[in-house]
Amino acid sequence: MSENIHLERDGRIATITLDKPKRHNAMDASMWQGIGDLMQECDGDAELRCVIIRGAGGKAFSAGADIAEFENERRDKAHALDYGVIVENGVGWIARCRHPVIAQIDGLCVGGGLGVASACDLRVCGESSRFGVPVKRLGLVEAHNEVAPLVHKFGANIALEILLVGDVFPVADAVRMGLVNKVVPDGEVAAAVREMAEKIVEGAPLSARWHKKFIHRLLDPAPLTAEELDEGWDCYDTEDYKIGVKAFLAKQTPEFVGR
């Protein structure tokens, strides 16, 4: 595991920190591998109910892939393909993790950093945050799997604007594009994310996991199978459903157990 990425647990909330602030938390190969490993670890922990991804230092969520590695790690197509597998695994596990994932965005969120944030389920940023994927300046192309989160979450029109224009743009544009769920004053991002995470934790964890699973599945145009349609009604046989209804009728706060 890279020393530049680490996981902390606080009750039912886990926080993954990209920790290379002197390089705006730019992601090297070990960090891409690390985020995949840590997200997979979180997915396997049934006691968790929410995961937060943040950047250290307060000035950047992440500047994306570390360009200093490119001469070696991406010096030709063969090496870039190998590197791409590591990146895809890292970003892919954010989507595959059963728990809701929030991106806590302070400052810069560009390139692969925006890819990571796009793969998260919710995004909260500060007023001075900036976004973009200016790969046109490097002669790079976002491969299909790299651009997929942008297209699936925000649409082809937005993805084309981000990639073809290539600007690093302010929060106002991010809001117009629908890239972020909430904007708060700088310095209040962590508190706003924590509040959002606590609201997720209060709910039935199976409900959150099923909703994430179903919504991601609906991005796939393939017809739903009979088994998939049937799963939409499984919640009625859970203990949490009985707990939730009973607590509602008694005007009490439910204590969900995840079963």
User: Tokens 């790079």 label which residue?
Assistant: 140
pLDDT for position 1:
60
5-200 and 204-249: identical CATH topology:
no
Assigned CATH for 204-249: 1.10.12.10
Give the DSSP H/E element, type plus range, for residue 148.
helix 144-154
Q: What is the DSSP letter of 56?
A: T
For residue 14, what are the contacts with CB-CB under 8 A and spacing of at least 6?
7, 8, 42, 45, 48, 50, 51, 52, 99
Q: What Cα–Cα distance (Å) separates residue 83 from each residue in 31, 80, 258?
A: 12, 5, 37
User: Tokens 């004053």 label which residue?
Assistant: 185
Residues of the chain predicted below pLDDT 70: 1
Q: At what angle do helices 112-119 and 144-154 cross, to 10 degrees?
A: 50
Domain boundaries, the chain: 5-200, 204-249
Q: What are phi and psi of 199, to 5 degrees?
A: -65, -40
Q: What are phi and psi of 189, to 5 degrees?
A: -65, -45
Q: What Cα–Cα distance (Å) separates residue 10 from each residue in 47, 73, 97?
A: 11, 36, 18
pLDDT for position 245:
94
Q: How many CA atoms lie within 13 A of 256 on its CB side?
A: 23
Give the DSSP H/E element, type plus range, for residue 61.
strand 60-62
- Considering all CA atoms of the chain, what is the largest pairwise distance in Å, rounded to the nearest integer? 64
Q: Tell me: domain 5-200, CATH 3.40.50.11540, correct?
A: no
pLDDT for position 193:
98
